[in-house]
Amino acid sequence: MSEFRKDFPRMNGRFVDRTGAAAQDANQYWPPIIITKEEMEGEVERLASSDLPANGKRESLIVHPLAEPNAPSLTPGIQVKLSVLKPGERTRAFRHNATEVNFNIHGGGHTVVAGRTIRFEQYDVWNHPSYATYFHVNDTKDIQVRLTYSNVPLLQHMQVYLPEDEPKADVAAVHDEGKDDPRKKSPYGMFPITEDGGLLMPYETLINPKSVASHPLHFAWKKVKPELDKLEALGRDYVGRRLYMYYNPTTRRFNGITPNFFATMTIRPPKIVDKPHRHVSAAINYYFYGTGYSTVAGNRYEWKAGDLMLSAPGWAVHNHASHDDYVYELTVQDQPLNIFMESLIWQEDLKHPAIVLGTHEGFDTNRDKAAA
């Protein structure tokens, strides 16, 4: 057995007779869960009390009880990791074929990713492109605590997750002396084959798709918060959600910070209750200021600053509300992936039909009528 040879057992496929069977919803809906501030702080303290391992990674996965053993995660498609570095520590270099959203919840430091140094503070957010080598450093006098959201579970379900510790120098592209050799290009190119727009693509184009550079982007909280606070002026009658999405132009119309996730920062003024809605994409909220509650499929969940919550299992009706203080929260949701797959069924108003968001025309809010 080696990287290039595997000993596979002999197996046979089977047929599953579905003749006349009615379509049915066989989804297993994961119940919402809250990892409390006290639980989070206890795990941070436990991690910080341990010796620094060889790879520098003091970290724990935050796992839902229904997660599969081969893909430990907080939702079926989102892994959340809690990481701790003490002053003067750093991790070893690492890369994998997953994309990440990083959120620093305590302390500061810097990350070197894809050759760029990102210096971060509390509540800063930044993304990691796939297969980009990175490491984290705590060069401050305080403990550093980070949350990392990734699409590792999807890759694990597909059995194609490829992590690599201490990777060799990145290779931007394979150098090919004969890349301009006309013998290596199809003389026909792409050409139409159907009357409704279908094309035939040659192999040479198939294995050399147009490349789009994917860069790490850093969203500093000290720059974002003043803009976010302006959304309070929308007033109590505003029917949308008072948030900004951290947009990565690489994701184009799929509206994400990575091709898999969006990350939004929300402000909830006191006593604001959102309108119930639902969507196929799952949502995870980290509340770092204020208190409130979420109603999910008829169940009420109270939360406070420092709590992490699986707040919207896919397709469960839900809404959120603040109590007597302002609430700030980061939400990570796998909306962009679902838009790309044309699977993002979204029902913004329960009195109206659901649509395929990103394929059908989307929804409007009353922002033009709300307070400016």
Burial group, residue 146, by CB count within 10 angstroms (0-12, 13-18, 19+):
buried
Beta bridge partners of 287: 329
- Give the pLDDT score at 181: 62
Contact 186, 204 (CB under 8 A): yes
How many Å apart are CA 149 and CA 262, to the nearest integer?
11
Q: Cα Rg for the chain, rounded, in angstroms?
A: 23
Where would I find the H helices in the chain? 37-48, 152-157, 203-206, 221-229, 335-340
Model pTM?
A: 0.92
- Give the pLDDT score at 66: 97
> Kindly report the CA angle at 145 between 155 and 33, in degrees rounded to 5?
60
How many Å apart are CA 218 and CA 216, to the nearest integer?
7
Per residue of the chain (372 residues), give pLDDT as tens: 577 888 989 999 999 999 999 888 788 889 999 999 999 999 999 999 999 999 999 999 999 999 999 999 999 999 999 999 999 999 999 999 999 999 999 999 999 999 999 999 999 999 999 999 999 999 999 999 999 999 999 999 999 999 999 998 654 444 444 556 665 666 778 889 899 999 999 888 888 888 888 999 999 999 999 999 999 988 888 888 899 999 999 999 999 999 999 999 999 999 999 999 999 999 999 999 999 999 999 999 999 999 999 999 989 999 999 999 999 999 999 999 999 999 999 999 999 999 998 888 877 776 676 655
Q: Which two tokens stand for residue 113?
A: 């990713």
Contact 47, 59 (CB under 8 A): yes
**Domains along the sequence of the chain with CATH:** 33-165 (2.60.120.10), 221-349 (2.60.120.10)
- Give the pLDDT score at 358: 87
Question: Could you give the 3-state DSSP secondary structure of residue 231?
Answer: helix
CA 1 to chain centre: 35
Q: What are the phi and psi torsion angles at 164 (to 5°)?
A: -150, 115
Distances (CA, A) of 75 to 151, 170, 225, 314: 10, 31, 28, 9
